[in-house]
Amino acid sequence: KAGVTQTPRYLIKTRGQQVTLSCSPISGHRSVSWYQQTPGQGLQFLFEYFSETQRNKGNFPGRFSGRQFSNSRSEMNVSTLELGDSALYLCASSQGTSNEQFFGPGTRLTVL
């Protein structure tokens, strides 16, 4: 089975711009979660989608949003980028019925 894929792997944006990141889960997985990882804050949960519905949400501002499509693929959008949004954004998929999540390689976002 193919693993979780994320595109793009690297991205450079400037302040004020918006960005969309994509995640393709493992085939058959209906849950997709997003995390932000920074050296200072560590790994922080952004949100989870299950069957196209947001099921859980972390403590991030409304600039961070996401969606999930009928094929379980998910996108994450960040609007009005700030320098502090520079991070590794990780996507994880699971069947939705256990605590075992499968993470992708991440998208490294740099905001200048």
Partner 1 sequence: LAKTTQPISMDSYEGQEVNITCSHNNIATNDYITWYQQFPSQGPRFIIQGYKTKVTNEVASLFIPADRKSSTLSLPRVSLSDTAVYYCLVGSYGNNRLAFGKGNQVVVIP
Residue ranges that bind partner 1, judged by CB under 8 A? 4, 31, 33, 35, 42-45, 48, 50, 55-56, 58, 88, 90-92, 94, 96-106, 108
Reply yes or no: is the peptide bond before residue 8 cis, omega within 30 of 0: yes
Nearer to partner 1, 75 or 102 (CB): 102
Q: At its nearest, how many Å lie between partner 1 and the CB of residue 104?
A: 6
Nearer to partner 1, 66 or 106 (CB): 106
Distance of CA 105 to the CA centre of its chain: 11
3-state secondary structure of 36: strand
DSSP tag of 45? E
Nearer to partner 1, 52 or 80 (CB): 52
Number of neighbours of residue 79 by Cβ within 10 angstroms: 14
